[in-house]
Structure formats: structure tokens, C-alpha cells
Amino acid sequence: MAQADNSVHEITSTKQFQDLLSADLNRVSLINFWAPWAEPCKQMNNVVMGLAKKYPQVLVLQVQAEEQEDISESFDVVSVPTVLLLRGHTLLNRIVGADASELTNAISRHLSGASSLSKPSSSPDGEESDEQLVTRVKQIMNQSKVVLFMKGSPDAPRCGFSRQAVGLLSDQKVEFTHFDILGDEKVRQRLKQLNDWPTYPQIIVNGELVGGLDILKETVETGEFQKMLESTSA
């Protein structure tokens, strides 16, 4: 796929993706998940490239969903085309399908400053207030020294990122508890907003977000992760 300018990037690795996304946390990013065999993607690819030319300040990341399965799984992409708009690590919009007008309007809206966070669907019964939900999420974050919010369980991870995170923690002989975000949609969505981090897994140490898989890898390699573990008693 032809690139419009330096703001458009074909993603070839998870590291490249994370580095580009984290370079400027105030920048609006457009992530286009597509596949060459899907006819609707051709239309959306043209729309995306047109928007890239019109709004050069937007970071455009082109992700072939099947080639970059871990990235697709981490953003819960199950069909193409799917386009996500983010500001830093905050999810602004998710457009599923070839909805060119919705994408165009969303870009215009968020660049004009009228951004809105994606909110989880509220329960019709209202049995748990947002304040109660936040309290519950924080309790989970503090249930042990190291908490891994993941898809599945350590014995049966349900995404590549989660599997690698479990492997890293196990290799470091780190004791940790886990929370399966697939089993609680409220926690899953609220934690993204609370930590300003849109993907899973999320690694928590001493009640604070460390980051995702790439941050875990980096801090393990530099020794910083071990220092975090030693900073306070469990």
C-alpha cells in the first residue's frame, strides 16, 4: 500500500507499533486494521490515505490484521476493516466496517478538540456505580505485589501478549496473581480508562501500572523490574 508521507506507517512488528504509538502521547493516532483479501478494506484504505493527506498531524498506522495477530488481539479486533482512533493510549473511537462517513466525522471531531473517551455500556439496573467500580478495580490492582490483568489464565492464556507476559514473569520467578479481563467487561473497560492504557495485558506492581508486554520486556532487560519488586515489601 502506498504511503502518503512520514505520518503513515506500515506496521511490520509489535515493537515498531508500540514505539510509534508512544512517541507523542498528545497526538491523535489512526490505526487501520485491514486485510488484502477483504473488498471493504480497499474502500477504507483509500479513505484513510485521503485523511492522512488532509490531516498530516495524525499518526496513521496500517496494520494487516492477520500478519500482526498479537496487535489485533490486544485491541480486540475480530473483523476487518476496523479503525481505531486514539490520543496517546486513550481510545477515542472504534469504527467497525467500511463506514467512511463515521471515520471522517470522528477525525474532524477529535481534531477540533471535542474528544470523548469511550465508555463501557452502563448496566440497565445501575447496580454498580462508577465510583464503586473504580474502588473494585483498585482493590484488584492491590490484591498482591504483582498483578497481571490478562486474557485467560496463566495455565491457558487466550492471546499471544498474555502468554508472553506469563512466560516472562515465570522466567523471573515472580509470584503474581492474575485477573481474567475476558470474564468481567466492566473491569476490562474501566481499567483501560483508569490507567490510560488501551491494551492488555497490563502489569501492575505495588498498585501502579508498569505497562504492557513491551514495557515489561524492557524493564526486565534493564533490571528496573527487579528494582520495582524490591522497592517495597509485599
Confidence of residue 63 (pLDDT cuts 50, 70, 90): very high
pTM of the model: 0.56
Please give the average per-residue pLDDT across 138-143, as a whole number: 89
46 pLDDT above the threshold of 90: yes
Q: Return mean pLDDT, the chain.
A: 86
Verify that 12 and 99 share a domain, yes or no. Answer: yes
Asked if the structure places residue 92 within a domain, the reply is yes
Asked if the structure places residue 121 within a domain, the reply is no
Angle at 148 between CA 229 and CA 150, to 5 degrees: 160
Please give the average per-residue pLDDT across 43-56, as a whole number: 93
Verify that 88 and 61 share a domain, yes or no. Answer: yes
- Tell me the C-alpha to C-alpha distance, in Å, between residue 31 and each of 89, 145, 149: 12, 34, 23
pLDDT digits (tens, 9 = 90+) for 65-105: 999 998 998 888 889 999 999 887 778 888 999 989 889 98
Query: Which of 218, 231, 232, 156 has the alpha carbon at shortest distance from 14?
Result: 218
Query: Which of 116, 133, 122 has the alpha carbon at shortest distance from 190?
Result: 133
Verify that 86 and 162 share a domain, yes or no. Answer: no
Q: Which amino acid is at 49?
A: M
Confidence of residue 232 (pLDDT cuts 50, 70, 90): low
Domain extent, residue 98, equals 8-111
The count of residues in the chain is: 234
pLDDT digits (tens, 9 = 90+) for 14-44: 889 988 988 888 889 999 999 999 999 999 9
- Looking at per-residue confidence, does 216 or 143 come out higher? 216
Q: Give the contacts of 195 (CB within 8 A, at least 6 positions apart).
A: 202, 209
Q: Identify the CATH number of the domain in which residue 139 sits.
A: 3.40.30.10
Verify that 99 and 41 share a domain, yes or no. Answer: yes
Asked if the structure places residue 16 within a domain, the reply is yes
Asked if the structure places residue 117 within a domain, the reply is no
Query: Which of 91, 113, 86, 95 has the alpha carbon at shortest distance from 47?
Result: 95
Question: How far from chain centre, in Å, is Cα 17?
Answer: 11
Domain total in the chain? 2
Quote the pLDDT of residue 123.
Answer: 45
Asked if the structure places residue 33 within a domain, the reply is yes
Verify that 19 and 94 share a domain, yes or no. Answer: yes
Verify that 137 and 83 share a domain, yes or no. Answer: no
Domain boundary among 77, 111, 145: 111
Verify that 209 and 180 share a domain, yes or no. Answer: yes
Confidence of residue 170 (pLDDT cuts 50, 70, 90): very high
Verify that 137 and 206 share a domain, yes or no. Answer: yes
Confidence of residue 1 (pLDDT cuts 50, 70, 90): low
Quote the pLDDT of residue 113.
Answer: 52
Quote the pLDDT of residue 5.
Answer: 54
Verify that 12 and 106 share a domain, yes or no. Answer: yes
Range with the poorest average pLDDT among 4-8, 20-24, 163-167: 4-8
Verify that 45 and 88 share a domain, yes or no. Answer: yes
Asked if the structure places residue 122 within a domain, the reply is no
Confidence of residue 168 (pLDDT cuts 50, 70, 90): very high
Q: Are strands 82-87 and 146-150 parallel, antiparallel or unpaired?
A: unpaired
9 pLDDT above the threshold of 90: yes
